[in-house]
Amino acid sequence: MGGAVSCRVTPAMRLTLTPAPEGGYMVSFVDIPEALTQGETVAEAMEAAKDALLTAFDFYFEDNELIPLPSPLNSHDHFIEVPLSVASKVLLLNAFLQSEITQQELARRIGKPKQEITRLFNLHHATKIDAVQLAAKALGKELSLVMV
């Protein structure tokens, strides 16, 4: 393998954790403002934040909208780690939307039925990373992982 490009191994979305006046904690995401939630404790709020973030991602996928990428983190920031299976599909969706081709065209480029492309853009469908890599390549992108 050639030279590696450095990146975060586990993408993370920065969030704001604010004590609520009525008790508990409010959570909002810096880059995904529509993902809002709350919890009675910090742990409950953080768990709810994971669900809110994935739900917000679902809406982006359903609406075929670009998903904002995470802002850089500081050492004191609160964040939710995005599973690599989700992060790879987020990156693929963004690359697909920027390419301005159809799902049918992507299917043709990789020699698969359109149904498989539909599954690629479903966060709830377990997709082999090789399929994401193949689709990325068909879009002129390279999916790579770096372990540090």
**Domain 12-81 classification at class level:** alpha beta
d(CA 83, CA 37): 19
Reported confidence tier of residue 2, pLDDT bands at 50, 70, 90: very low
Q: What is the pLDDT of residue 10?
A: 61
What does each C-alpha distance from 52 to 32, 39, 74, 117, 132 come to in angstroms?
Answer: 10, 12, 22, 25, 24
pLDDT in tens, 44-82: 999 999 999 999 999 999 999 999 999 999 999 999 999
pTM of the model: 0.88
Please check the confidence at residue 5 and state whether its pLDDT lies above 60.
Answer: no
